[in-house]
């Protein structure tokens, strides 16, 4: 069986380092591993409209921003199809068929949907489109017969596997049950905001963006939330819940200590010193800044190049979208045949030669 990746992001803003450690970094690794036969990376504009339907301009303008972030982070159009969700009508069609397979109660119980609804406090009740977005997400994944879906923790648990099982049991083996791939370390799973709040979010102003310049990143790092009880350098400090250390957990790689802080062998040694007392926040922040700049500089530089070639980037999206639609069309032919709604292809039904 082919190994196929499908994943994506809502285009409601530029991507930040939470997206990077939560999913983007992993996608690039998987892409470059050569282990996958097909890769589809989706800019989920239709899903973004489910809670931004009054702000189409915001969604429209962020498509190119997300595309620039993808390309700068290392997604390579020669290996990955970057595409725009709304341009693939098969996804909407499949969503409609899946709606028969999911109960209202099942959606209401879904913890991701619950959390997302709470987050948004819709004034006039919950729009049906938003309520059903997990169904459309199942369509996104299965239309490509994806085997692997690398996402951040907030995308779990969804209902695609249930839908696949139900569809196959009613209509016959047609769809592929995907594997959800979460980040492998806790810190990357849910990177907090620079203020220590649970989530990076544009409205809280606590994000470090992939497109931030060097000085902006440095300032954000130097003003990050640490341990409020760690007042003097000599005080013992807490590492748990200390945002600077959480970021280090998510970002530090072999070689970073050699390059930037050779007095310590590894992160455990640094943490021990901080816990004992005698290690100041500024020193740890400077180290984090060096690590982040090292990861972000190549991304930033590639972004500058792509920003000069916007028509080329739209061309990449157009080509990716064409490839994605061709793939989804094949699946939908199979789905319609399984569901017995392929009337005009059925010679027996029509009775003509
Ligand atoms: N929900 C994702 C986000 O908020 C975007 C998305 C839409 C997605 N459909 C998907 C992710 C299918 C993975 C698989 O960014």
Identify the sign of the CA torsion 343, 348, 351, 353. Answer: positive
The average pLDDT across 70-95 equals 98
The tens digit of pLDDT for each residue in 305-323 reads 999 999 999 999 999 999 9
pLDDT range class, residue 203, cuts 50, 70, 90: confident
Q: Provide CB contacts within 8 A for 239, sequence distance 6+.
A: 227, 245, 271, 274, 275
Q: Whose CA is nearest to atom 14 of ligand 1?
A: 7
Cβ(213)–Cβ(292) below 8 Å: no
> How much of the chain is helix, strand and coil, in % rounded to 5?
60, 5, 35
> Which atom of ligand 1 lies closest to the CA of 137?
9
Q: What percent of the chain has pLDDT over 90?
A: 87
Of 113, 130, 137, the residue with max ligand 1 atoms within 8 A of its CB, to mutate for a pocket test, comes to 137
- What distance in Å separates the CA atoms of residue 129 and residue 107, rounded to the nearest whole number? 12
Cβ(168)–Cβ(175) below 8 Å: yes
- What distance in Å separates the CA atoms of residue 234 and residue 227, rounded to the nearest whole number? 13
The alpha carbon of 27 and the centre of ligand 1 are apart by a number of angstroms equal to: 14
Is ligand 1 within 6 A of the CB of residue 155?
yes
pLDDT range class, residue 157, cuts 50, 70, 90: low
What DSSP state is assigned to residue 213? Answer: -
- What distance in Å separates the CA atoms of residue 337 and residue 107, rounded to the nearest whole number? 27
Average pLDDT, the chain: 95
The tens digit of pLDDT for each residue in 233-270 reads 999 999 999 999 999 999 999 899 999 999 999 999 99
> Which atom of ligand 1 lies closest to the CA of 151?
13
> Which atom of ligand 1 lies closest to the CA of 9?
15
User: In what side-by-side order are the strands of the sheet with 38-43?
Assistant: 81-84, 38-43, 4-9, 148-150, 179-181
pLDDT tops 90 at residue 170: yes
| pTM, 2 dp | 0.95
Is ligand 1 within 6 A of the CB of residue 50?
no
Of 306, 242, 281, 350, the residue nearest 82 (C-alpha)? 306
């Amino acid at each position: 069986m082919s190994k196929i990746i499908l994943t994506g992001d809502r285009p409601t803003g530029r991507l930040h380092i939470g997206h990077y450690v939560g999913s983007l970094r992993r996608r690039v690794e998987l892409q470059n591993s050569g282990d996958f036969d097909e890769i589809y990376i989706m800019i989920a504009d239709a899903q973004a409209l489910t809670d931004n339907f009054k702000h189409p301009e915001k969604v429209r303008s962020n498509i190119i921003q997300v595309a620039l972030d993808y390309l700068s982070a290392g997604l390579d159009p020669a290996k990955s199809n970057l595409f725009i969700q709304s341009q693939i009508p098969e996804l909407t069609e499949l969503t409609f068929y899946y709606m028969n397979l999911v109960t209202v109660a099942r959606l209401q119980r879904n913890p991701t949907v619950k959390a997302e609804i709470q987050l948004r406090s819709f004034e006039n009740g919950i729009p049906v489109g938003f309520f059903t977005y997990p169904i459309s997400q199942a369509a996104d994944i299965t239309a490509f017969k994806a085997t692997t879906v690398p996402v951040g923790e907030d995308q779990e648990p969804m209902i695609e596997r249930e839908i696949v099982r139900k569809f196959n049991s009613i209509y016959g083996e047609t769809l592929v049950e995907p594997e959800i791939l979460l980040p492998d370390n806790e810190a990357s799973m849910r990177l907090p905001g620079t203020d220590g709040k649970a989530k990076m979010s544009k409205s809280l102003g606590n994000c470090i963006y992939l497109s931030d310049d060097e000085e902006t990143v440095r300032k954000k790092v130097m003003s990050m939330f640490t341990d409020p009880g760690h007042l003097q350098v000599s005080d013992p400090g807490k590492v748990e819940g200390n945002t600077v250390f959480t970021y280090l957990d998510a970002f530090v790689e072999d070689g970073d200590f050699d390059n930037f802080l050779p007095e310590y062998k590894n992160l455990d040694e640094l943490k021990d010193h901080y816990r004992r007392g005698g290690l100041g926040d500024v020193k740890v922040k400077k180290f984090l800044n060096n690590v982040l700049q090292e990861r972000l500089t190549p991304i930033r530089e590639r972004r500058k190049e792509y920003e000069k070639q916007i028509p080329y980037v739209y061309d990449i999206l157009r080509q990716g979208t064409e490839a994605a639609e061709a793939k989804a069309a094949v699946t939908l032919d199979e789905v319609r045949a399984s569901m017995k709604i392929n009337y005009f292809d059925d010679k027996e039904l029509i009775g003509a030669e």
